[in-house]
Amino acid sequence: MDQLNSDLLRTFLAVADAGSVTEGAARIHRSQSAASLQIRKLEDVLGQPVFERHGRGVVLSAAGERLLPVARDVTRRLDTALRDLTADDLHGALRLGIPDDQSKEVLSRIVGAFAQSHPLVDLDVTCALSTGFPAALAAGRLDLAIYEVAQPLPGLDVLRRERTCWMVSRHHDLMGRDPLPVALFDRDCWWRDAALEALRKRQRPYRIVYSSQSVAGVAAALEAGIAIGLLGETSMSPDLRQLGPREGFDAMPVSSLVLGQRPDAATPPILAMKAAIHRAFEGA
């Protein structure tokens, strides 16, 4: 007998709230294809679609409208039950740095789940551009931090690896522009340095027309047809295409998302948070 499960409902809610399969998948740290498969499974169980295409995104169907309040109530009740059954007496303080980029949604959910399971731990969360996190860890201003690096140093926990690549809008012809318009991340980001080095090697005039501190900001500029840009592969959307060797763009570096820890710090709250973060990424 077909059954609804909470995993399908959570994917449905993420897509419904985002209005896009791609954005919804990012919120729950899934690939677009994985989220699409979850939605298809849900629709197979129900025997009818829960979304309809609308422009570049999706809107709820009649069945989706009926399912939405049920899904919210079920997941809320499950979360409450989990919190009540797993809450413990772990106490202390924890200072955590999470990057203000495409991972913010999933990491915020990790923080929320941790706070529910360990309500006596005082959390101090810094959500910002992550380039300053390694120095903050070394100086003891943070206990744990998640950030992107080109080459992980020995001892760092690697949570995820992702190849970067050049992307451009499918709907705008930018490759014939001279100089070539480029969107980059703001200063103090190794992705920016890698992009500029690759552009210099191409020996073709370019102009930086847009800068942003966030993945969402650069992706929006690309989808709008303002410029080309360097993003991680998981940022690919139906409105973007990858630029390759035929257009003069070679393979780009792999980015590693790592979990760093303050030196000589292994308090119970730190160990519990590390375990929670690892479980979340391993599950994804």
Domains and CATH numbers, the chain: 6-85 (1.10.10.10), 88-150+257-283 (3.40.190.10), 162-252 (3.40.190.10)
3-state secondary structure of 197: helix
DSSP 253: P
Percent of all residues in the chain with a pLDDT value above 90, rounded to a whole number: 50
The answer to whether the beta carbons of residues 239 and 112 sit under 8 Å apart is: no
CA distance 49 to 40: 8
Is the pLDDT at 109 greater than 80, yes or no?
no
Task: Return the closest-CA partner of residue 171 out of 224, 127, 221, 215.
Answer: 224
DSSP string, 44-105: HHHTS-SEEEETTEEEE-HHHHHHHHHHHHHHHHHHHHHHHHH-----EEEEEEEESSTTHH
CB atoms within 10 A of CB 197: 11
Residue 41, amino acid: K
pLDDT higher than 90, residue 43: yes
For 124-137, give one letter per residue: b (16+ CB within 10 A) or e. Answer: ebbeebbbbbbebb
Q: Is the pLDDT of residue 54 over 80?
A: yes
pLDDT tens track for 24-42: 988 887 888 999 999 999 9
Percent of the chain scored above 70 by pLDDT?
Answer: 95
